Amino acid sequence: MKNILKFTLLALVAFAMGAALAWFQSRQNAPAPVAVELTEQQQQALDIKPAPVGERPRDSVVEGAPDMPDALDSLYADGDAEKAAAAEEGTAEAAPEAAPEAAAETQAADAAPAAPEGQKVAGSSVGGTFSMTDQNGNAVTEKSWPGKKKLVFFGFTHCPDICPAALDKIGAALKEMGADADKIQPIFVTTDPKRDTSARLKEYLADYDSRVVGLTGTDAQVEHIKGIYKVYAAIAEGGDADNYLMDHSGYIYLMSEDDALLEIFGSDSTAETIVQKSAAHLK
């Protein structure tokens, strides 16, 4: 009996030792763990959520780069407005720092109030001092109409279309302004002093509003006033020494009492446009 018990005990010990040895050998020979990268769909299937919006890797988006790939859009956009705003804020943080000058300009533009009506044209250098002769032969300067704004147009008396249209437009605007027209001096400056003498200007302007003053002068005086008003004018190709046309810019300038530029009206501006935009400056 004792021998049976002894044999059984030895068998159990041997079995336990064998089992332990087998377990140890299996651990030593087990393969290394393999990292598995799950796709977004697999993550969703396993209810594993991606990183919250706004916590994207800092090198994932650069401001000013092309649109973000669809894959990233779908990964980080969840339709939540607040999180979308946070994402934009995170993107701005991720972008390289903007140049100080550009940042300053952006801040200044955002902070700048809307320009009030009647304000002078900013940064303009149009207008200045001049000395000319009017259609009556009188010497005039920019100070010859104190307290009045000036409506200035450049052209020449042999002009077939642009100048007559502009002078008609100015006359119509003055009539529509009513009493306010007394605050403005309309001026027609020739770009063709060779042919446009004072007498010629007086004859020509008789067909238009009587308030328009015509200015001419020497070649040097005309070149000077063209220069300060940034006016282009040149003899067109063709014709002869006495019969020619001139190419010239067709802007109408509204100048303040102190000869600062207030408005510029192009050839497409109507008399109503001149009245409406001038009204703010006549208050």
b/e for 116-141, b at 16 or more Cβ within 10 A? eeeeebeeeebbeebbbbbbeeeebe
Most confident of 70-84, 104-118, 137-151: 137-151
Q: Which residues contact 275 (CB under 8 A, 6 or more apart)?
A: 173, 176, 177
Other CB atoms closer than 10 Å to residue 41's CB: what's the count? 8
Asked if residue 76 has pLDDT above 80, the reply is: no
In a domain, 103, yes or no: no
Query: What pLDDT, on a 0 to 100 scale, did the predictor assign at position 283?
Result: 85
Tell how strand 184-190 and strand 149-155 pair up.
parallel
Tell me which residue of 19, 45, 6, 279 sits closest to 149, measured CA to CA: 279
In this structure, the answer to whether residues 155 and 270 fall within a common structural domain is yes
In this structure, the answer to whether residues 176 and 274 fall within a common structural domain is yes
- Look over the chain and give the mean of its residue pLDDT values, rounded to a whole number: 74
| Number of domains the chain contains | 2
In the DSSP assignment, the letter for residue 229 is: T
Tell me phi and psi for residue 195, to 5 degrees: -100, -30
In this structure, the answer to whether residues 84 and 153 fall within a common structural domain is no
In a domain, 28, yes or no: no
In a domain, 12, yes or no: no
In a domain, 26, yes or no: no
Contact 252, 265 (CB under 8 A): yes
CATH code for the domain of 255 = 3.40.30.10
Range of the domain at 65: 40-93
In a domain, 110, yes or no: no
In a domain, 98, yes or no: no
- The predicted-structure confidence for 185-224, as pLDDT tens digits, reads as follows 999 999 999 999 999 999 999 999 999 999 999 999 999 9
In the DSSP assignment, the letter for residue 210 is: T
